[in-house]
Amino acid sequence: RHLHQVDFDLMAVFLMQEMGADLDIRDIVRMILGHFGNGPHPLTTGNVSASAGPHASPGPPPTATHRQPPAQITFSPKTPLQAQIHHAALLVNATLRHYDRTPTTSIPFCVRYPTYTDVLAYSIFMEKRCVPLPEDRMVVLIDGAGICVGVGVPPIPADEDGLYLAHDERALMSLNDMVLKCKWNAEKEKIVYSEVPPLGDLQTPHPLDMVNKGDHRDPKPKETKTTTQKSQSKSKKLSTKDVANPTSKPRGKTTISFQPYGFGLGDVHSSYSKLISIMKTDWPPQINSTGMQDLKIPLDRNGVQTSEVQGHGTSWKVPRVVPTLPNPQRESPNAVDAREMAKVSHEMCFYSTLSLWINKGFLSQSIAVAEKGVKYLQEKGCELLQENLSFEKNPVLAARTISLNTQITTHRDKKNALLFDSNFFFGNHLGGDFLLPSLGVAYCGLQGFSFHGPLRIVLHGVAKFHFPPNLQQPPRRYSVAYWARESSFFSVGRVSAYTSGNKVFNHDEYWIPMYPKYNFNAVHEVYSTQKSSSRIRPHRKKKGGCNTGGGCSKKSRLSGD
């Protein structure tokens, strides 16, 4: 492995994203600790030191750096997001206190870039200066506090005896077959054939800017037609020119998503505005309409608006909307799409399992909580949901998105759970490095490479990819992402609390904690235990076959490594 420290503060940036782009980090910490107190939430016990810097060992909780009113009333977190924000504030406060006491030390990232607007400006500057990471080994990225902010994994070597296809080759074949049968649009964006990067090394055609701010993945609006064009298109068929030049009006999809469970991509039933409208008009409680978002903490000029904080008070004890669990979701109801997505899932089960075990190794506590939530869904969810989960190799990060020849805008996945999302890359392309401008690094995006990390917080994009001039096959560049929505895990805690008598707003046993510090020994122990517990078939010499036992060796390698 290659351990690489980056100039970044994951906890501070998380707070800035959740609390406000123009708020100073010191003000954010003051408001959060002023509301939730200086004592740690049970999920954070032993993770923060008051007297040392970001690399300190466990110790008592810190106190706020700013003077607070005497005998101030504090409140405990009521939702997963509130607990995560409180935990992050304690960690950042420890960093700030350490710097204030020893100003001769290096200036922390959150002091040099105290607002999220500053972080965005820094990321825009660094996007054209990302340093390539090694490609011949696993790469582990840690921030200034020692928290893992990314894991890069190179392709698994092909079988030496040639009896089995390499995992990346098998995945590529299934993806190519899917695109052919589902009639995807492989040339929605201009295909570039070149031996050298058309924009220069590690340059993206859709960079981060202060307009998009990393909030959107799609570089173009979903609807670009004017009102006149819309009305004309309803009564007008394709012209001869359109038929002769199909690229003038690109048709067919380039991206498809599948969610075994969730509230959908932009599902109105999971939005707070929809919930409010229902609460004002519907009584008695409605079961089919839910508000399952873990809401941001409301602020005013004086700090946290206590009366508006989700889960506080008693109004939630008489709900007008009955909480519900997530249901199976898919972007396309097309039978061919669904069939091919299922086939690809089977052919790529190795990568689904790899995504799960990256999380198990680096986020053992978080994945244990998430698996507990999934178990609740398997027991209490609808029959279709239970059936879907029974076939998933990775039921935690079971949602997946497949993109073909797509150049994305540098962004962050702000609705995802605080786990390690996974991105796998396949194809016959060149370039296409995975850019991490906030971290100042880039990881290889060629066939079989993958990157795993907290992509809800970390901005990420893709360098311009291109294809060899002498390419004989159709140009193909795929991105396959595995992820999970925060709202799904929030709903488990809320429904569990509601069905247990509604005495608390959300059961904290289903709250995913914040990202821990990287511990090589702990990660190694997880993988060693998994390897020793895996079924490894004994080496046997077959009559009439090779004496090397290549087949058995391969199976042992898959189950054990």
What is the SS3 assignment for 340-364?
A: HHHHHHHHCHHHHHHHHHHHHHHCH
Q: Phi and psi (nearest 5°) for 402? A: -115, 125
Task: Please classify residue 8 by burial: count the beta carbons closer than 10 Å to its beta carbon, then call 0-12 exposed, 13-18 middle and 19+ buried.
Answer: buried
pLDDT of residue 331: 52
Q: Tell me which range, 155-159, 209-213, 551-555, is most confidently predicted by mean pLDDT.
A: 209-213
Distance between CA 439 and CA 518 in Å, rounded?
Answer: 16
Across the range 151-164, mean pLDDT stands at: 85
Q: Report the DSSP pairing between strands 399-404 and 255-262.
A: antiparallel
Identify whether 378 is part of a domain.
no
- Beta-strand pair 441-443/131-132: parallel
Q: Which residue has the tokens 């799609």?
A: 218
Is 451 exposed, middle or buried, given 0-12, 13-18 or 19+ CB atoms closer than 10 A?
buried
Across 17-30, average pLDDT: 96
57-97: pLDDT as tens digits = 334 444 444 444 444 678 899 999 999 999 999 999 999 99
pLDDT value at position 555?
A: 38
366 pLDDT exceeds 90? yes
Query: Which of these, 111, 109, 139, lies nearest to 126 by C-alpha position?
Result: 109
pLDDT at res. 43: 63
pLDDT at residue number 535: 59
* Mean pLDDT, rounded, for 216-228: 59
Q: Which of 123, 149, 176 is the last residue of a domain?
A: 123
Q: Which of 123, 145, 175 is the last residue of a domain?
A: 123
Question: Would 231 be classed as within a structural domain?
Answer: no
Inside any domain, residue 162 = no
Token pair belonging to 26:
């010191």
Tokens for 483, please give them: 């992820």
pLDDT (0 to 100) of residue 42: 58
Residue 396: its pLDDT value, please?
A: 96
Query: Residues 474-525: pLDDT tens digits?
Result: 999 999 999 999 999 999 999 999 999 999 999 999 999 999 999 999 999 9
Instruction: Check the CA dihedral 306-307-311-314 and report its sign.
Output: positive
pLDDT, tens digit (0-9, with 9 covering 90-100), for 163-200: 788 999 999 999 999 998 888 888 877 899 998 888 87
- What are the φ/ψ torsions at residue 138 (nearest 5 degrees)? -65, 140
The proportion of the chain whose per-residue pLDDT surpasses 70, expressed as a percent, equals 78
**The two three-digit tokens of residue 103, written as one number:** 């100003």
Provide mean pLDDT across the span 147-161: 90
Q: Is the peptide bond before 284 cis (omega within 30 degrees of 0)?
A: yes
Residue 348 sits at the vertex; the CA angle it makes with 343 and 350, to the nearest 5 degrees, is 145
Task: Say if residue 222's pLDDT is above 70.
Answer: no
| Residue 299, phi then psi, degrees to nearest 5 | -125, 155
- Cα separation, 74 vs 56, in Å, equals 26
Tally the domains of the chain.
Answer: 2
Query: How many other C-beta atoms are found inside a 10 Å radius of the C-beta of residue 109?
Result: 24
Residue 557 belongs to some domain of the structure: yes
Please count the other Cβ atoms lying within 10 Å of the Cβ belonging to residue 387: 13
Q: What pLDDT was estimated at residue 452?
A: 99
How far, rounded to the nearest angstrom, does the alpha carbon of residue 550 sit from its chain's CA centroid? 37
With respect to residue 553, please indicate whether it lies within any of the assigned structural domains. yes
Instruction: Give residue-wise pLDDT tens across range 377-428.
Output: 999 999 989 988 988 989 999 999 999 999 999 999 999 999 999 999 999 9
Task: Give the residue-averaged pLDDT of 283-289.
Answer: 41
Beta strand residue intervals within 107-266, DSSP E: 131-132, 139-142, 148-153, 255-262
- Whether 52 maps to a domain, the answer reads yes
Among 123, 141, 170, residue at a domain's last position: 123
- Residue at 555 is within a domain: yes
Domain encompassing residue 559: 527-538+547-561
Residue 492, domain member (yes or no): no
**E strand segments, 56-180:** 131-132, 139-142, 148-153
